[in-house]
Amino acid sequence: MIVDDNEYVRESVEILFKSEGGCLATAEGGKECLEQLEAGFKGVILMDVMMPHMDGWDTIREIVSRGLYDGNIIIMLTAKREPDEKMEEIQSYVTDYLTKPFNPTELLEMASYYGSLLKETPCHDAA
Amino acid sequence: MTQHNIIVIGVSTGGPVALRRLFSGLPPLNAAIIIVLHIPQGMDYRIAKGLDAVSSMPVALAEDGEFLRSGQIYLAPGGYHLLLAGNHRIVLVEGERVNFVQPSVNLAMKSLTRPLNGKIIGVVLTGMGRDGAEGIRHIKAMGGITMAQDQESCAIFGMPKAAAETGAVDMVLSPEKIGKQLVSLLH
């Protein structure tokens, strides 16, 4: 799922994934992202940081607090070269961080790798 | 008691890819390797399995009370702090998060004591914040060897930068070069 308020970014990422035979859900912002997670979406989430109403960090906080994180991997896809302090307390939930303009090959490889990890099933409980 | 060589790797955001780069193609090492990755419960086993698929050494989630074995990679499970008792036994503890994270790299590294023999190596890879900086200083003070990931290869050059700024880091390298150094140091 690409979560970005910029239509151009959503479309370009969608074209990229479809050209490789992949599928991509799109969300214009945090609210739409949460709705899709509530509806059962599981997968890799490419999350923008700077979005109106609810930014990427607040969206992640909501994902965690509503118990929607499990079974997903969050990658920040952002123009911000350095994450701001708001990321620090939720960094465990931010698996990777890619800066725009992104390298299409790197993005596809990253999404493919993290997508493959989500197909794994639990082996055992810790401790 | 035989003393192991021990490698403790601290890492956060960008970690799964950096770890894959480090361990892909690396031969088995004469060391027990402990990875402390900032990760929530429920995701840890997925990362362990992903790394196990590309590593020549077996990768598993660390279990409480487990004794370290050479040639094994232990991933600290999310939701616990990992400590090393006597440099040879894993202890998982609950408790408060430290600087927003659990497991904490600093706690794991600072639980090590000066070894009678065997090498101690500390590595800090990509991630936000300063976790690992105190741990690296501790390892260096014990006579250990320390490395940090370089800026160019980092998703976020926060933790490695903080570690390097302590003045206690011996080498700043890409994940692949860190792997080569490990092979060389433990040959």
- Does residue B117 have a pLDDT over 90? no
Domain-embedded: residue B150 = yes
Contact A110 B17 (CB under 8 A): yes
Domain-embedded: residue B172 = yes
Residues of B with Cβ-Cβ distance to A126 under 8 angstroms:
41, 44-45, 61-63, 77-80, 92
Select the CATH number that applies to the domain covering A2-118 from these four: 3.40.50.2300, 3.40.50.1240, 1.20.1250.20, 3.40.630.30. 3.40.50.2300
Q: What is the per-residue pLDDT for A121?
A: 53
Domain-embedded: residue B122 = yes
**Quick one: residue A37, left, alpha or beta (phi over 0 = left, psi -120 to 50 = alpha)?**
alpha
**Phi, psi torsion values for B112, nearest 5 degrees:** -75, 145
Domain-embedded: residue B23 = yes
- Is B38 an annotated catalytic residue? yes
Domain-embedded: residue B1 = no
Residue given tokens 């080569």 in the structure block: B180
- Does residue B133 have a pLDDT over 70? yes
pLDDT by residue for chain A (127 residues), tens digit each?
999 999 999 999 999 999 988 889 999 999 999 999 999 999 999 999 999 999 999 999 999 999 999 999 999 998 888 888 889 899 999 999 999 999 999 999 999 999 999 985 544 443 3
Q: What is the per-residue pLDDT for B3?
A: 59
Task: Note the ipTM here.
Answer: 0.91
A→B contacts (Cβ < 8 Å), by residue, are 69-71, 73, 76, 82-83, 87-98, 110, 113-114, 116-118, 120, 122-124, 126-127
Cis peptide before B103 (omega within 30 of 0): yes
Domain-embedded: residue B163 = yes
- Total of domains in chain B: 1
- Note down the domain range covering B17: 6-185
Residue count of chain B: 187
CA–CA distance, B101 with B135 (Å, rounded to integer): 15
Residues of B with Cβ-Cβ distance to A98 under 8 angstroms:
155
Domain-embedded: residue B137 = yes
Domain-embedded: residue B112 = yes
List, for residues B63-97, the tens digit of each pLDDT value. Answer: 999 999 999 999 999 999 999 999 999 999 998 98
